[in-house]
Structure 1
Amino acid sequence: MNAVDEWLSDLIELAREERLWERGDAVVVAVSGGPDSMALLHLLHRLSGPEGLSLVAAHVDHGFRGEESANEAEAVRRYAAELGVPCESTYINMPAYIEESRMNGQAASREKRYEYLHRVAHTYGASRIALAHHADDQAETVLMRVVRGTGIGGLAGIPISRYEKNVELIRPLLRRYKADILRYCEMWAIPYSHDSSNGKRHYFRNLVRLDMLPYLSGFNPQLPQSLVRLAELATAEDDWLAQETKAVYESHVLPHREGCQLNRKALLGLHVALQRRLIKLILNYMGLEAESTSFDIVETVRHAASESRAATWSFDAGGGIRFVREYDHLLFVRPDRGEKRSPGGYAYAVARGDAALELPEAEGILTFEETSAASARRPGTRLEALFDADALHYPLTIRNRRPGDRMAVLGLNGTKKVQDMFVDDRVAPSRRETVPIVADANGTVLWIPGIRRSSLAPVTDSTQRVIRMKARFASNFTG
C-alpha cells in the first residue's frame, strides 16, 4: 500500500473506530488556511465520495493581521472553489471586540470562531464540524496543562470528538503529526499560508512549541509521542472514572428542595478518587463550570465531611452554590431556587375526627386514627405516638416551633426546651423551622414526630379510646 492510500485507509479506520461520521453526514470543515486545515479539507474532499459526505468549508478572518489575514481568506476561498467545495467566510473585528468585552484575546477569538462555525453548521444542516488539531497540538496542550496544574481530565488533552450545541466537533488529524501533514501537502501540492503570529512568544502555546518542547526533548527525543500516549491513557481512564462517578451519583445523591443532598458516611465510604470526582460532578450538575471547580473547593467539601470537622457548617462554593453540612447530611443548594416560605411559619388546626393533614412545609403528612384501647398496638417508631383520646384538648394545632417552646418529656422531670431537643437529636438546622410540633388547645406541646412525646394524655389501664398519630416525611430531618 502506498503512502497516499495509507492516509485514506487510516482515516477511514479511525472514523469507524471513533464514529467520527456516518454516511450521508454534512460536515463543516474549519479552514484557517494553514497546512493542517488545508490538508484536512483535501482529505475529506477525497473521502466525500466513498464516504457519502457533504462538505462546506468555513473560514474566519479575525482581523488581527490586516492584509495577511485577507490574503489567507482569499486563498481558502480559491482552494475550496478548486475542489468544488462550497465556502463560507466572515470577517470579525476581534481587536475591537476584545477591547469591548475585556476578554482574553485567544478565548475571545475562540468564542467568536466557534459561534460562526455553529452558525454555518445550522445553515447547512451539518451534524459535524471538522477541526484540524493534530498530534503536536495534543502534545503542546498536555504540556501546557501540566505546567499550569491539572488532573486526569486535563491530561486527557484534546478529545477526538465531543458534542457542543447539538453538533459533534471532530478532529480527524489528531493522531497525525505536523511533519506527516507537511509531507502530505507536499505530496499533493496543496497550497497553504504561514501565520506570522505563530512565531510570537507572548502566546503561551507558541512559547511551549518554540522553546519548552524543544528544550525538554533534549532529555527525551520522543517527548511529543510520550505526551500524546499519556493523553490517550488519561482519556480512557478519565472516561472510566466518569462512568463510575455517574453510577455513584445515581445511587447516592438525592434531590433536595433547593438542590441535592448526599449522606456523609456514604461519601466517606468511597475511594478518595471517587470522593473528589463525585463532589466535582455534583457542583457541575448544579451549574458550576468545570473550569471554576478548583481543587481547593473540592477538598474543602471533602474534608468538611470528616468525623473531626464541625457537625454543622457551610461555605460558598462559588457560582451561587452553597455547601452545607448538617450532621450526616451534606447539602449542595442554590438558596434562590428554594420555595419562598412565609417568615411567620405555619399553623394548622385539627379537630377530633380529622383523619389526615398534609404538611407541604415539612414535606410530610400526619394521620390521626381513633381506636379502642384494647386493639391499639404499641408504637413501632418515633414517628408514631399513642394518646388517650378523652384526655386531649381539641382543637389541636400543628405548627412549626416558636421561641420559648418547651415540652414535659415523657420519663423526665420538669420540661425541656424544644431547641435543646433539636440539638440533642441532631435535627438539621435548615429543617428546624419546618419540623412539625403537635400542640393542644392550650398551646401545650404534645409531640414532636420523630423526636419526643410529652407526658400528657398517656395511655393507661383506664383509657377507653386511643388516638394514634403517625407521621410520614419525604426525607429524614435528623442527622
Structure 2
Amino acid sequence: MASFEVSMMRYVNKHNLLKVGDKVLVGCSGGIDSMALLYFLNSKKGELGISVVAVHVNHMLRGKESHEDRLFTEHQAAQWGIECYSREIPIPKIFAKQGGNKQQLCRTERYAYFLEVMKYTSATKFATAHHADDQLETILMSAVRGSLQDGSFGMLASRSFGTGYLIRPQLAVGKEQIVSYAKQQNIPYREDSSNAEAAYTRNRLRQRVLPFLKAESREVSKHFVELAEDMQQDQQLLQELAREKVQQMIEMKEEEIILSAKSFRVEPRALQKRMVLLLLNYLYNPKQVPLTRQLVEQVQEMMQSSSGTVFLHLPQSYIAIRQYDVVIFRCQSLTQTSTLAPITIATDWTSFYNGRRYKVVPTDQLVHVDKAVNWYFQAPENASFCMRSRKSGDRIQLAGMKQPKKLTRLMIDEKIPMPMRESWPVITTDKNELLLVPGLRPSALVSQQKRDRDNWVLVEQFL
C-alpha cells in the first residue's frame, strides 16, 4: 500500500484538484480526518503553490464538548500558522423552530457558513476530509435507502461550490492510512462522541458492515472509490445526453412543465430514468425530497402510453397529469381552482389551454393538422360551440351506455382530484350537449372515424 502522502499527491494530480495560486479553505471539525487533511495541505503548500485557511462550525449539540472542539481547532490552527474562522450555530434552537431532519439542518447551516467564509477570504477551493471509507459508506447508504443520485454515483472528487470548487483529496486514502499518518506526524485531534452512536445509519454501517467487507478485502474502500470514478464518468455522459433531450422536449409555462409522452418514451430506457430525475429536479431540491427508485419508476411508467388520462400524486402537493399524449407537472392547489370562463370555439384556433387548442370546421373544409385528433359529429349548420367549466347537472352520453352519466360521477370514477373538478373543461354545443371532456372521455356523439351523417369536425391539437 502506498504511503499517505504518495497516495494523496497522486490523487490530487490525477483529478487536477489543486493548481498554483489556489487559496484552499479546509473544513475542520477537530477530528482526526480533518486535522490530518489540514496538516497535510499546510505541509505541502510550498510544493503545491497554494495557501491554506481553516474554518470550523460549532453546532452547539454537545454542550461543553462542542465548545472545546472549537477552542482546540482555533488553537491548533494558530500553532501551525494557519488563519482560522469559526462560528457557533444554535442548531437546537433552529431545529426547535423549524423541525425537519436535524442532520440535514446541520449540513445546510454549516455549508452556508462555509460559502460565506469562502467569499470573504476569496478562497478558490473548499476542501472536505471525506475519505475512501466515507465513499464506501455513502454508496451503501444510497443502496440501503433506494435513493438515486442526480448524475453521480457516490461523492465526486470535485464539484462546483460557490465561486470555486469543493474538493475531496482524501478520497485517495482510507481511515487506516489516516490514523497511521496522524500517528507518524504526531497530529493532535479530538474525538466526537456522536460518531459512536448507533442511532445514525452511517454509524451502524461503519460499525457493523464495513468490518465484514474489510475482512474480505483490506482494499475494499479503494475498490469502491475506483468503481465510483468509473460510474461517474459513464453517468456524466448519459446525464449530458439526458439534459439535452429534456431541454428539447419540455415547455416551461409559469409554474408548469409540459411535454409529450411519446417524445419521452422513444428514448432509450437508460436515458429515461435520468430524464425523469432532471424533471423532478425542476420541482424539488433533491437534498430535501429523496428521489427514490419507486418515484422515478412511477413517473417513467406513466409516460409509456398516450391513451386516456393518468394522475400521479407527487411529494409536496405536486401532481403529474397525462392527458392522452400531453404530460403536465404542476403544483396542486389544496383549494378549488377558479372556473373557466366560456371560450367560443369556431373556425379559428382557440388559445392553448392545458396543452391543447381547438377549432370546429365543416367536414368539407378540414385540412391536415400535425399533432391533432379529429372528432367528427353531426349538428345543425347554424350551431355554435364552446369550452367551459362543468356545471351542476352536466351529463355525458358515453358509448355503450343507455343513459347519460353524471359528469361528477365520471370524474370520481376517473379519480380526478377534488380541487380540479370545478375547473375541468368540457366542450359543448349551444344546446349544452357535451361533445368532449378533454383528457378524459369523448361522448358517444363524436367519433374519430367520419360517419355518413357527420357534418362537423372538432380538431384537438396538442402542444
Q: Is the counterpart of residue 186 in structure 1 residue 183 in structure 2? A: yes
CA shift in 2, pair 1:158/1:334, >3 Å: same
CA distance, structure 1, for counterparts of residue 79 and residue 389 of structure 2: 80
Q: Tell me the distance in 2 between the aligned counterparts of 1:306 and 1:5.
A: 52
* 1:51 CA displacement: 4.3
Equivalent position of 1:343 in the other structure? 339
2:301 to 287, 290, 303: 303
How far residue 195 of structure 1 moved from its aligned partner, in angstroms, is 2.6
The 3 A distance-change label for structure 1 pair 321 and 380 is same
- CA distance in 2: counterparts of 1:359 and 1:65, whole angstroms: 61
Q: After the TM superposition, which residues 1-16 of structure 1 pair with which residues of structure 2 at under 5 Å, given as runs?
A: 6=6, 9-10=9-10, 12-16=12-16
Q: Which of 226, 229, 248 lines up with 1:229 in the alignment?
A: 226
Matching residue's letter, 2:13: E
Q: Distance in 2 between matches of 1:433 and 1:45?
A: 65
Is this contact kept in 1: 2:59–2:88, CA < 8 A?
yes
- 2:204 corresponds to 1:217: no
Of 105-114 and 47-56, deviating more is 47-56
Write out per-residue CA displacement over residues 345-375 of structure 1, whole angstroms, 9 at most, x where no aligned residue: 245799xxxx98984769879899xxxxxxx
Q: Percent identity?
A: 27
1:437 CA drift (Å): 8.6
1:60-71 to structure 2, matched below 5 A, reads 60-71=57-68
Check 1:405–1:104 CA distance in 2 against 1; reply closer, same or farther (3 A cut): closer
Q: TM-score, normalised by structure 2?
A: 0.71
What's the counterpart of residue 129 of structure 2? 132
* TM-aligned CA distance change 1:221 to 1:77, over 3 Å: closer
Residues 222, 443 of structure 1: alpha-carbon distance in 2 compared, 3 angstrom cutoff: closer
Structure 1 residue aligned with 2:377? none
Residue pairs, 1:270-289, within 5 angstroms: 270-287=267-284, 289=286
Match of 1:73 among 63, 70, 73: 70
Shift in CA distance, 166/452, structure 1 to aligned 2, threshold 3 Å: farther
User: What are the ranges of 5 or more consecutive residues in structure 1 without an aligned counterpart?
Assistant: 369-376, 384-391, 407-416, 424-428, 459-469
Superposition pairs of residues 101-112 of structure 1, within 5 angstroms: 101-112=98-109
The residue correspondences of 1:115-126 to structure 2 (distance < 5 A) are 115-126=112-123
Quote the residue 1:84 is aligned against: 81
2:443 maps to what in 1?
Answer: none
How far apart are the structure 1 equivalents of 2:181 and 2:315?
Answer: 48
2:247 to 246, 250, 271: 250
Which residue identity lines up with residue 263 of structure 2 in the other structure? Answer: A
Between the aligned partners of 2:65 and 2:252, the Cα distance in structure 1 is 56
Amino acid at match of 1:227: F
SS in 2 for 1:218: helix
* Residue type at the aligned position of 2:277: K
Of 127-136 and 150-159, the range deviating more from structure 2: 150-159
Moved more, 249-258 or 314-323: 249-258
Which residue number in structure 2 is paired with residue 414 of structure 1?
none
Unmatched segments (≥5 aa) in structure 2: 373-380, 397-403, 411-415, 435-446
* CA deviation after TM superposition for structure 1 residue 131, in Å: 0.6
Residue 183 (structure 2) pairs with residue 196 (structure 1): no
SS of structure 2 residue aligned to 1:325: strand
Given the superposition, is the C-alpha separation of residues 301 and 75 from structure 1 closer, same or farther in structure 2, using an over 3 Å criterion? closer
Instruction: Quote how far apart the aligned CAs of 1:132 are.
Output: 0.7
For 1:277-317, what per-residue CA distance to the aligned partner results, in whole angstroms no more than 9, with x for missing partners? 2223212212363643332222223333445x961121311
Amino acid at match of 1:78: H
Report the alpha carbon displacement of residue 319 of structure 1 after superposing the two structures with TM: 2.4
8 Å Cα contact 1:153/1:234 also seen in 2: no
C-alpha displacement of 1:243:
1.9
CA deviation profile, 1:224-254 (whole Å, cap 9, x unmatched): 3333333233322332332232122133334
Give, in whole Å, the separation in 1 of the partners of 2:83 and 2:173.
26
**Which is higher, the Rg of structure 1 or of structure 2?**
1
The match for 2:30 is 33
Match of 1:380 among 352, 367, 373: 367
The count of corresponding residues between Structure 1 and Structure 2 is 426
Task: Report the CA distance between 1:138 and its aligned residue.
Answer: 1.2
